[in-house]
Amino acid sequence: MKTIACPDCDLLQHLPDVPPGSKARCARCGRVVARRTSDPIDRPLALTITALFALIVANTASLMGLSVAGRHARTTIIGGCYEMWLQGQELTAVIVAFCAVVAPAGYILFMLTVLLAVRRPPAPQWIGRMVRWAESMEPWSMTEVMLLGILVALIKIAELATVQAGIGMYAVGALVLLFPAIMVSFDAGEVWARIAWVDGTVPPSGEGSPSGGPTR
C-alpha cells in the first residue's frame, strides 16, 4: 500500500498492491493510476531494439515510387521534408521532420538508454531525465498518422500515375505496431522504483507515505 495523488484530479488515495498484468484506476475520475506488466524491462527492451532497426529502414529505404509516361520518382521520409523546404515551406518541413523522424527516433533512443541502464541497480539518477524526455517525445511521435497520410497521398496520386509502395513503407508499418507495443509493455513505475534519488540515496524498498521532500 502506498499513498498517491491522481494526476488528473489530485485525489489522495491508497494504492493497493497491483498484481502484474493488471491496472488500478482513480476512485473518483477513473484515470489509470497504476499499471503493472508482467515483464516491464526485458520485453519493452526487445521491442525497442526491433523498433530501432525498423526506424533505420523506414528512414533510409524509399517509401514509395511513382511512374508516369516512362518517368520515375521516389521519395523517403526526409526527402519529403526536404522537398517541402525547397518549395519554400521551411516551417512546415521542420514540423513534419520533427513529428515523422526526430520524435520517433528520440523516443526509441531514450527508451533504449533507459531500459539498458536501469538493469544495473541502483539505477543512476540521469535515467529519470531520459524517461522524462522519452515521455515528452511520445505525443509528437506521429508514425501512425504519417502512415495514414502516406496512404491517402498514394490513393490521390494513383488517379494520375502508377504508384508502388517501397520497403520503407513496410518498415513504417512495423513501427506503427511496435510503438504501442513498447508503450503497453513498459512500466514507468518500475523504472522510478529503481532509480537513485536526487540526493544520492538508494530507493527505499517499501516506498510508502509521503516523502520528506527537499526540506526533510
Partner 1 sequence: MTGPPLTAAQAGLVACETCGLLARPASGGDPGVCPRCGAALHSRRHQSIQHTWALIIAAAICYVPANVLPVLSTSALGSTESDTIMGGVVFLYTSGSWPLALIVLIASIMVPLGKLVALSYLLITVQRGSITSNQERTRLYRMVEFIGRWSMLDVFVDTFTVALVQLQPLMSVEPGPGVVFFAAVVVLTMIAADTFDPRLIWDARVPAEL
User: Binders of partner 1 among 74-103, rule CB under 8 A?
Assistant: 74-75, 79-81, 83-84, 87-89, 91-93, 95-96, 99-100
User: Can residue 206 be called a binding residue for partner 1 (CB under 8 A)?
Assistant: no
Q: Which stretch binds partner 1 (CB under 8 A): 44-52, 116-124, 176-184, 203-211?
A: 203-211
Tell me, by CB under 8 A, how many residues bind partner 1. 79
Long-range contacts of 65-73 (CB under 8 A, 24+ apart): 65/163, 65/164, 65/166, 66/157, 66/161, 66/162, 66/163, 66/164, 67/161, 67/162, 67/164, 68/160, 68/161, 68/162
- DSSP string over 37-72: -SSTTHHHHHHHHHHHHHHHHHHHS--EEEEETTEE
> Which positions from 175 through 194 interact with partner 1, judged by CB under 8 A?
188-189, 192
Of 119 and 156, nearer to partner 1 (C-beta) is: 156
- According to the binding rule CB under 8 A, does residue 121 interact with partner 1? no
* 22-51 binders of partner 1 (CB under 8 A): 28-31, 33
Which of 24, 61, 142, 181 binds partner 1 (CB under 8 A)? It is: 142
* Complex with partner 1: residue 173 or 203, whichever CB lies closer: 203
Burial class of residue 42, CB neighbours in 10 A (0-12, 13-18, 19+)? exposed
Q: Which three cell numbers stand for residue 159?
A: 488517379
Question: By CB under 8 A, is residue 60 in contact with partner 1?
Answer: no
